[in-house]
Structure 1
């Protein structure tokens, strides 16, 4: 998977934006100001492609037990964030995109009704 594929997929999510809130190398994707994906561009460029994604805690445990390339979130809450080590070759793009969807949906689900309505264009 190329970084442009991941970036395009994330930015095609409704209300998604990208930002560098921490430094010039950590690309963060947000929906209404809430993070749903983080990528270290420096690591990606060095061949160590990885992305941090939010996940339901039970689902996180299941994913970590199933895939060696999915581990507790690097520099994140270990309960709610996973790091997907894409460069290891175990994870197919279809699964990565599914987990991006799950992360995005988790973040939207955690928003207030007013925020969700704003995202959906309801008043």
Structure 2
């Protein structure tokens, strides 16, 4: 966790773009014991990121996001309702602003990113 934290801080100086990905916020908080330095760093990482993309989540994770990120009730509902209702939907938090975003892929992008061929063709998974 220390090296990731240091790398993120250096990326600002070097104008690098860093991307962190987690299925839910608590994934990052399992880096150690609740009172450990690693968990404290992980909690800070959530606040160091200037842009956060929150895809649809169930209510429990939405509540967790609301608590950890200070989401308004409206923003939390976007994550737990609207974003779950369709592919490519997410709440983007950029600085102190929030945006509902619907990503639309072109046909070439769909061909490149569609990974469920084996499932839909009835082949082995």
When normalised by structure 2's length, the TM-score is 0.28
Q: Structure 1 or 2: larger helix share?
A: 2
Structure in which a larger fraction of residues adopt strand? 1
TM-score after normalising by structure 1 = 0.28
In our comparison, the structure showing a higher alpha carbon Rg is 2
The structure, 1 or 2, with the larger RCO (C-alpha pairs under 8 Å, 6+ apart) is 1
